[in-house]
């Protein structure tokens, strides 16, 4: 069984600056694996350990992303693949899905793809559904628990955790599954495993290797501004807990919260 996990590198700090051309300026900010993708990696590792197959972590980005691929290898992935080409520098979510779909088709033997629910930089959540559509595979979104992955029957059963209900669904493989953070607890790689993969150089595929050109943007960005700062809070003072509670209740009534 071959599982692929799609991962993205994002800025650790959300307080980024906006350049004049509307790109994000994350200079000087540490990069990390997207939060939801860590859960996807852990889920992929868990099922790969059960079925003793192959787990490939796949990233689309620059050479700077190699360090995060190494971290995923230290966590337990068996293989890593970087898709990197200057032509892919400014892709939107749909364009990224087109490129990754081409890479998965080139791999050829993929049974299951895990992704995070969304990335914490653009928050679009469009990548996984677009990838499933381009591959022509079933998609299971907002997955909070995978009950079973059966390579022999080529089937997956999982729970979709929606706002008001939990759905238990089953789908044929291959499929694309996007996960939420409640699905597991990502493991920390040991220092020994980190050292073991410190010099691993994952293969790099370019646009020429995939036989595609850079997809034209499907979305035009008209504006981008940082969110407004959160209003400062107010401390409730009082001689004792009872007085503080009375003042708090009065404030909540005043603002029609209760």
Burial 119-153 (b: 16+ CB within 10 A, else e): bbeeeebbbbbbbbebbebbbbbbbbbbeebebee
| Measured CA angle at 149 (ends 101, 53), to 5 deg | 70
For the chain, the average pLDDT equals 88
User: Between 14 and 172, whose confidence is greater?
Assistant: 172
SS3 168: strand
Q: Is the pLDDT of residue 20 over 80?
A: no
- Give the model confidence (pLDDT) of 133-148 as tens digits: 999 999 999 999 999 9
The bridge status of strand 17-18 relative to strand 54-60 is unpaired
pLDDT tens digits for 79-99?
A: 999 999 998 887 888 889 999
pLDDT of 4 higher than 70: yes
Task: Identify the pLDDT of residue 167.
Answer: 95
> Given the structure tokens 């009082």, which residue do they identify?
238
Segment of 9-13, 101-105, 162-166 carrying the highest mean pLDDT = 101-105
DSSP assignment letter at 111: -
Of 180, 43, 45, nearest to 125 by C-alpha is 180
Q: Mean pLDDT lowest for which of 12-21, 51-60, 204-213?
A: 12-21
Distance CA 103, CA 97 (A): 10
Confidence of residue 103 (pLDDT cuts 50, 70, 90): very high
Distance CA 55, CA 252 (A): 52
Residue that is written with structure tokens 């001689």 in the block? 239
Q: Does residue 23 surpass a pLDDT of 80?
A: no
Q: Would you state the pLDDT for residue 117?
A: 87
Is the distance from CB of 30 to CB of 12 less than 8 angstroms?
yes
Question: Quick check: 202 pLDDT over 80?
Answer: yes
Q: What is the pLDDT of residues 151-188, one digit of tens each?
A: 999 999 999 999 899 999 999 999 999 999 989 999 99
Report pLDDT for 174: 96
Q: What is the pLDDT of residues 38-49, one digit of tens each?
A: 999 999 999 999
Q: What pLDDT is stored for residue 135 in this prediction?
A: 96
Q: How far apart are CA 68 and CA 33, in angstroms?
A: 6
Within 8 A by CB and 6+ apart from 215, the residues are 91, 94, 95, 98, 99
CA 230 to CA 119: how far, in whole Å? 22
> Exposed e or buried b for every residue in 205-220, given b needs 16+ CB within 10 A?
bebeebebebbeeeee
Q: How far apart are CA 38 and CA 46, in angstroms?
A: 12
Entry pTM: 0.81
pLDDT at 246 over 80: yes
Q: In the structure encoding, which two tokens stand for residue 107, read together?
A: 């791999």
């Amino acid at each position: 069984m071959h599982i692929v996990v799609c991962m993205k590198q994002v800025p650790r700090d959300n307080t980024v600056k906006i350049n004049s051309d509307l790109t994000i300026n994350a200079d000087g900010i540490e990069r990390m694996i997207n939060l939801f993708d860590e859960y996807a990696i852990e889920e992929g590792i868990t099922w790969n350990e059960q079925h003793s197959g192959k787990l490939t972590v796949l990233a689309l980005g620059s050479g700077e992303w190699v360090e995060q691929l190494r971290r995923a290898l230290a966590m337990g992935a068996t293989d890593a693949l970087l898709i990197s080409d200057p032509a892919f520098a400014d892709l939107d979510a749909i364009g990224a899905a087109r490129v990754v779909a081409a890479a998965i088709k080139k791999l050829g033997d993929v049974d299951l793809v895990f992704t995070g629910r969304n990335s914490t930089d653009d928050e679009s959540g469009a990548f996984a559904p677009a990838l499933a559509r381009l591959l022509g595979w079933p998609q299971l979104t907002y997955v909070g628990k995978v009950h079973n992955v059966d390579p022999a029957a080529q089937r997956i059963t999982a729970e979709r955790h929606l706002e008001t209900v939990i759905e238990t669904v089953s789908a044929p493989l291959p499929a694309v599954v996007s996960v939420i953070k409640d699905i597991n607890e990502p493991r920390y790689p040991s220092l020994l495993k980190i050292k073991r993969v410190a010099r691993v150089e994952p293969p790099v595929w370019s646009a020429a290797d995939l036989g595609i050109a850079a997809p034209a943007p499907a979305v035009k960005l008209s504006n981008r501004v940082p969110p407004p700062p959160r209003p400062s809070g107010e401390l409730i003072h009082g001689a004792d807990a009872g007085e503080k509670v009375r003042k708090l209740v009065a404030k909540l009534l005043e603002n029609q919260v209760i």
